[in-house]
Amino acid sequence: MRAVFFDRDNTLTIDEGYCYKVSDFAWMKGAEAALARLHAAQIPVFIVTNQGGIARGLFGEDDMIRFHDHLCDKAQEAGGHITDIAFCPHHPQSPDETMRSCACRKPEAGLFFALAAKWDIDLANSVMIGDRDSDVIAGKRAGCHAYLSDKNSVLDDLVKQIIETHFTTTPSAKV
């Protein structure tokens, strides 16, 4: 299957720095409409997100899971659907040496490969959308088409363009 991958922070949700509290949840401009549009077009949505605050001891995995559950609930209320979320808990500045390096922290592509294996995703015909160069690099390393989202623009406008460009035609054959 083809899919759209989103970064979470400052792509779908507003992030003022290590956002993990449900009370701090807020959508980026056009995110709700973008998720609803993708759901209506039957395009699966996945989130790939670095959550280094876990490794740095700023919040726990349970806090992040609560935030993600809330995000998924809010996406459904908006008419969208998030199929799955993959996260990297590592950070190079972690006080725990075992949490410093990995193959999943973007710009590495490990999160994409894990989701692709779990959900049988055709990465070559899928799209990554993120707000940082590391998101685009990770998407390209995974073999996806990748787009940089401008935080001052409306996410749904970009999603309209992506659907037209990548999801209204038959997927390209793998060589």
In the structure encoding, which two tokens stand for residue 127, read together?
């799209």
DSSP code of 80? -
Number of domains in the chain: 1
Q: What percent of the chain has pLDDT over 90?
A: 84
Confidence class of residue 175 from pLDDT cuts 50, 70 and 90? very low
Domain that holds residue 132: 4-166
CATH number at residue 67: 3.40.50.1000
Torsion of CA 60, 81, 158, 32, to 10 degrees: -80
- Can 69 be counted among the known catalytic residues? no
- Can 9 be counted among the known catalytic residues? yes
Q: What is the mean pLDDT of residues 116-130?
A: 98
Give pLDDT, residue 97.
86
175 within a domain of the structure (yes/no): no
171 within a domain of the structure (yes/no): no
- Residue-wise pLDDT tens digits, 74-102: 999 999 999 999 999 989 888 888 899 89
172 within a domain of the structure (yes/no): no
Residue spans of beta strands (DSSP E) within the chain: 4-6, 45-50, 84-88, 127-130, 145-148
Give pLDDT, residue 69.
98
